[in-house]
């Protein structure tokens, strides 16, 4: 019986291949490029490199990660959309480039919905509210009190549009005013906090936890509904006195909407296979994040929900559109 089941499975697989265009059956037959809109070391970059290694192992083709940071992710987006739409250029984007930018800009040089075809989710990570290790603010309550005492005096660093809106959500929830200072990427914002250049920031667990453990920065709260295993001593925002405050970064993969469906579907199937691997779950748990499972349909629905959320937050916080 097991032998018969194996033969039936093989027959089904061959049937699927027979119905697939020849070019899709051969896909991929050359190197694939993952374009990342942030510098090396960010959670988005970490995900791209992990999935790239796994994809290379599955296909036997090299996967090159190209970091094109700056301009709110526009440079990376334009590079992907200008490349041949053949499935060999993948955009590994985040909540900033795939959802939040819609809420922050009067007009964008791209449409994150119509210009892209979703492939798969990758991960999500709760944001940390961080201050310099030498900060006089030892608790979240102390930071909020200082911000209320001197409106606009405290500066927050943001490495992307996503972190800017997280900070504005914090301002709105805590009823304070802090001032936005932009940076090119998450690592630059975290470094600015460590140097004392800005008083606070929201950062990915993946990019900030080592500095927290080393004492260079202090985490006042994790913006999730439960504590994280990576930094179990850090209280949730609710535990620290800011009830109901949660904020996550997330990462997903997309290709140009002009990519032939057969190639996009095969790439989506490969990435979905990676996200379901036990070692993928373990990898993200080690860095304080969690794998997000979902293919093209799930990612499209999630993206639409995120766009609605951040549009509402930007409106509530009265964020001036760029």
Is 84 domain-assigned?
yes
Is 220 domain-assigned?
yes
SS (H, E, C) the chain: CHHHHHHHHHHHHHHHHHCCCHHHHHCCCCCEEEEECCCCCCHHHHHHHHHHHHHHHHHCCCEEEEECCCHHHHHHHHHHHHCCCCCCEEEEEEHHHHHHHHHHCCCCCCCCCCCEEEEEEEEEEEEEEEEECCCCCCCHHHHHHHHHHCCCCCEEEECCHHHHHHHHHHHHHHCCCCEEEECCCHHHHHHHHHHCCCCEEEEEHHHHHHHHHHCCEEEEEECCCCCCCCCCCCCECCCCCCCCCCCEEEEEEEEECCCCHHHHHHHHHHHHHHHCCHHHHHHHHHCCCEECCCCHHHHHHHHHHHHHHHHHHHHHCCCCCC
> Are 143 and 233 contained in the same domain?
yes
Structural domain containing residue 45: 21-124+250-316
> Are 170 and 105 contained in the same domain?
no
Is 321 domain-assigned?
no
Task: State the Cα–Cα distance between residues 43 and 197, nearest whole angstrom.
Answer: 22
**Closest C-alpha among 278, 130, 299, 148 to residue 217:** 130
> Are 53 and 66 contained in the same domain?
yes
CATH of the domain at 92: 3.40.190.150
> Are 241 and 143 contained in the same domain?
yes
> What count of Cα atoms within 13 Å lies in the side-chain half-sphere of residue 183?
24
Is 9 domain-assigned?
no
Instruction: Give the pTM.
Output: 0.79
Is 14 domain-assigned?
no
> Are 223 and 143 contained in the same domain?
yes
Give me the number of domains the chain comprises. 2
Q: What is the pLDDT along the chain (322 residues), one digit of tens a residue?
A: 545 554 554 455 455 545 555 555 689 999 999 999 988 988 899 999 999 999 999 999 999 999 999 888 999 999 999 999 999 999 999 999 999 999 989 899 999 999 999 999 999 989 999 999 999 999 999 999 999 999 999 999 998 888 899 999 999 899 999 999 999 888 899 999 999 999 999 998 877 888 999 999 999 999 998 898 889 999 999 999 999 899 988 999 999 999 999 999 999 999 999 999 999 999 998 888 899 999 999 999 999 999 998 998 888 878 878 8
> Are 55 and 119 contained in the same domain?
yes
């Amino acid at each position: 019986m097991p032998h018969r089941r194996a033969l039936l499975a093989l027959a089904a697989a061959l049937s699927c291949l027979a119905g697939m265009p020849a070019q899709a059956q051969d896909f991929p037959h050359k190197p694939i490029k993952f374009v990342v809109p942030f510098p090396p070391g960010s959670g988005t970059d970490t995900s791209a490199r992990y999935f790239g290694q796994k994809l290379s192992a599955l296909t036997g083709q090299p996967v090159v990660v190209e970091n094109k940071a700056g301009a709110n992710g526009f440079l990376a987006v334009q590079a992907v959309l200008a490349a041949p739409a053949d499935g060999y250029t993948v955009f590994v984007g985040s909540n900033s480039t795939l959802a939040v930018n819609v809420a922050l800009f009067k007009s964008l040089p791209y449409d994150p919905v119509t210009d892209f075809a979703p492939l798969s989710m990758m991960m999500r990570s709760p944001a940390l509210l961080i201050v310099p290790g030498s900060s006089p603010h030892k608790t979240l309550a102390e930071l909020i009190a200082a911000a209320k005492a001197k409106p606009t005096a405290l500066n927050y660093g943001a490495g992307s549009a996503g972190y800017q809106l997280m900070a504005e959500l914090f301002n709105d929830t805590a009823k304070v005013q802090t001032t936005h200072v932009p940076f090119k990427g998450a690592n630059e914002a975290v470094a600015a906090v460590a140097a004392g250049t800005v008083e606070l920031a929201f950062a990915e667990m993946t990019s900030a936890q080592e500095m927290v453990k080393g004492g260079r920065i202090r985490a006042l709260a994790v913006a999730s509904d439960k504590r994280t295993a990576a930094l179990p001593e850090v209280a949730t925002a609710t535990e620290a006195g800011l009830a109901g405050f949660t904020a996550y970064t997330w990462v997903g993969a997309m290709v140009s909407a002009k990519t032939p469906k057969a190639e996009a579907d095969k790439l989506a199937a490969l990435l979905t296979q990676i996200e379901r691997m036990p070692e993928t779950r373990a990898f993200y748990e080690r860095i304080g994040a969690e794998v997000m499972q979902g293919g093209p349909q799930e990612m499209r629905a999630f993206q639409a929900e995120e766009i609605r959320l951040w549009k509402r937050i930007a409106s509530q916080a009265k964020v001036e559109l760029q």
